[in-house]
Structure 1
Amino acid sequence: MATVLEFTSPAADFPLGSIFEALPEVEVELERLIPHDTLIIPYFWVRGVAVDDVEAAFESQASVGHIRLIDSVEDEYLMRAEWGEEYVGVLSALARNNIPLLTAVGTKDEWNFEVRGESQEALSEFRSYCQENDIPIEVTALHAMRPIQGDGYVLTDTQQEALVLAYERGYFDSPRESSLEAIGEELGITQQSLSSRFRRGHRRLIENTLIDQ
């Protein structure tokens, strides 16, 4: 059974991490990755930054080559990067162990990852690889993916918990009866992590209910 592993990693120990020193309020989210022989995650989103030249802000990022702006929507920027082949870290560990990356969101505090393994054994091998290669990760959740309605409408336990709690607290009401901060405090996670969890859950619901497969 497919299993989801959620873990964190220090902001400074990941490519793009030094951006938080110059822009502490920024949030970076990587696009999803299916492992490949050549490790490349070319696209990522940057949110919460108001600079004239967002490309220049990333020029000094370790293990990352050329970065350029692809598109922008208000204060969200879609960037394209070239990862250095010499990079050894979380992303190379995922590729080596054939573990798909579902989401990765970075803030000045830490990076939050969500990955999927075809079995718990596969995820155990990934964790062992990280330990053997001094790649710092801290596991925060491990759970099976399961349908929530019929066949294929898949949410993780944490996504379902967050969305149901938000509904019960009136977050989706108009006007809203609660906030991301309040719901995050109740769940024991940051506002940024909750926002990312909402986006992942919404995306999966849309993919499996509104999109023709």
Structure 2
Amino acid sequence: MGTIVDLSLELDALPLGRALAATEGLELELEPVVPIGPRTCPFFWLFDRSLRTSRSDRIETFERHVEDTEKVDDLVRIGDVENSVLYRVGWSGDELPFVDGVVAADGAILEATATSTEWTVRLRFGGPTRIASFQQFCQDHGIAIELNRVVGLEHERSAAPATLTSGQAEALLMAARMGYFDRPRTTTLEEVATSLDVTPQAVGGRIRRGLSNLVTDALPVGDDRGDTRSGRDDH
């Protein structure tokens, strides 16, 4: 049975990351594919989440940065739907190390999204041996990854409870002890990050993903989810 791996990547790990980092309020989602070579992941969606500046200005800024990216040959806008744009991208050269690592371990990219701070990727592998091979590839090629969740495919399909990684548990405990969840807060994300000797972006991601996993544990989504939502007090 296969294994699902959720992980985080630095923006530089994939070519489009730098363009996204330079444009506020945008999020990116690659179309899911099974990697088969250097031309994989040719389509992606760009979502506009910001109301601070003109949407067209943000999109045009992003496109300029993508076109200036060394590993991108061309960028074509396929469609525009409300606050999202679909693109086709042509990669130049044969080197996409992260994707090469997935291919070498016989894995598949199920989801890949990015904000202005990091990539969040969901992969599927044949089992622990393949995952170990992929991790070794990343280590050998200087690709920094942070595992957020590893679960057997049979548990994923049955909506089994998620588990916290050690990093998520550490971040949540430290944040709670320092008063990050108090109202009013008695500490900042930067102070929590300093205590853990990591960046604010890293600790913020661990807290966010850890809370998501805890919610999955406490409130498993089943066939009765519609009834649960209808009876909830949103206020």
Q: TM-score when scaled to structure 2?
A: 0.63
The alpha carbon displacement at 1:83 in A equals 1.7
The alpha carbon displacement at 1:61 in A equals 2.5
Conserved in 2, the CA contact under 8 Å of 1:34 and 1:99? Answer: yes
Question: 135, 152, 172: which one pairs with 1:127?
Answer: 135
Conserved in 2, the CA contact under 8 Å of 1:17 and 1:61? Answer: no
Deviations 1:28-77 (A, max 9, x none): 11111212144421001100162265444521234222011111110111
In structure 2, the partner of 1:46 is: 46
In structure 1, the partner of 2:11 is: 11
Query: What secondary structure is seen at the aligned counterpart in 1 of 2:230?
Result: coil
Higher Cα Rg: structure 1 or 2? Answer: 2
Query: What secondary structure is seen at the aligned counterpart in 2 of 1:51?
Result: helix
In structure 1, C-alpha distance between the alignment counterparts of 2:91 and 2:134, rounded to whole Å: 20
Say yes or no: does 1:161 pair with 2:213: no
In structure 1, C-alpha distance between the alignment counterparts of 2:159 and 2:64, rounded to whole Å: 37
Write the mapping of 1:27-176 to structure 2, written as runs, cut at 5 A.
Answer: 27-48=27-48, 50-51=55-56, 54=60, 55-146=63-154, 155=159, 157-158=161-162, 161=216, 164=219, 172-173=229-230
In structure 2, C-alpha distance between the alignment counterparts of 1:15 and 1:176, rounded to whole Å: 43
* Structure 1 residues not aligned, in runs of 5+: 179-213
In structure 2, C-alpha distance between the alignment counterparts of 1:74 and 1:110, rounded to whole Å: 24
Query: What secondary structure is seen at the aligned counterpart in 1 of 2:138?
Result: helix
In structure 2, the partner of 1:182 is: none
In structure 1, C-alpha distance between the alignment counterparts of 2:218 and 2:29, rounded to whole Å: 20
The change in CA–CA distance for 1:5 and 1:176 in structure 2 (over 3 A counts) is: same
In structure 1, the partner of 2:234 is: 177
Moved over 3 A (4+): 52-57, 153-160, 162-168, 170-176
Conserved in 1, the CA contact under 8 Å of 2:38 and 2:91? Answer: no
In structure 1, C-alpha distance between the alignment counterparts of 2:93 and 2:80, rounded to whole Å: 28
Q: TM-score when scaled to structure 1?
A: 0.69
The change in CA–CA distance for 1:125 and 1:39 in structure 2 (over 3 A counts) is: farther
The alpha carbon displacement at 1:130 in A equals 0.6
In structure 1, C-alpha distance between the alignment counterparts of 2:27 and 2:76, rounded to whole Å: 17
In structure 2, C-alpha distance between the alignment counterparts of 1:63 and 1:176, rounded to whole Å: 49
In structure 1, C-alpha distance between the alignment counterparts of 2:218 and 2:19, rounded to whole Å: 31
Deviations 1:133-156 (A, max 9, x none): 1111111111111268xxxx5657
The change in CA–CA distance for 1:19 and 1:176 in structure 2 (over 3 A counts) is: farther
Conserved in 2, the CA contact under 8 Å of 1:63 and 1:86? Answer: no
Q: Which structure has greater helix proportion?
A: 2
The count of aligned residue pairs is 173
